[in-house]
Structure formats: C-alpha cells, structure tokens
Amino acid sequence: MKQISGKEFGKILRKKGWELERIKGSHHIYGKKGTSIKISVPVHGNKPLKRGLLKYFLKIAGISEEEL
C-alpha cells in the first residue's frame, strides 16, 4: 500500500466530494453532505499516515487503494 501524508489524503478527500468542516489542533475534520460520517485526519507535517488508519479511512470514505 502506498504511504501518503494526512495533507495529501485531505486533497484526495476533497476531490471525492468531502468538505473540510473545521480544524481542531492538528486534525482536519471532513464531512460529506447527505451523511453523518465525519473523518478526522491527523495532519502532522509530511509524516505518512499509519497503514491501519489509512485503510480505515479508505473504507469509510469509499475510496479504493488504486485511487491513491
């Protein structure tokens, strides 16, 4: 699986229709109209997201690994 940072993952979420709702500290919270699901992406510089966390985010957001 490709490693990406929280900042890069945020860009992918925005392309898929997710909107940045707010920022609390180093976490960017994204939401999508028509759903109550929120995704809190840790943005710690250019540090890559952990593999398990990234898989979880992909599952919730409905994004495949090929789209990274």
31-51 pLDDT, tens digit per residue, is 999 999 999 999 998 999 999
Q: What integer pLDDT is reported at residue 63 of this predicted model?
A: 94
Helical H segments across the chain, by residue range: 6-15, 51-61
Q: Considering only CA atoms, which of 44, 17, 15, 51 is closest in space to residue 28?
A: 44
Report the predicted TM-score, pTM, of the whole model to 2 decimal places. Answer: 0.91
Split at pLDDT 50, 70, 90, the class of 30 is very high
2-16 pLDDT, tens digit per residue, is 999 999 999 999 999
Q: Does residue 31 contact residue 19 with C-beta atoms inside 8 Å?
A: yes
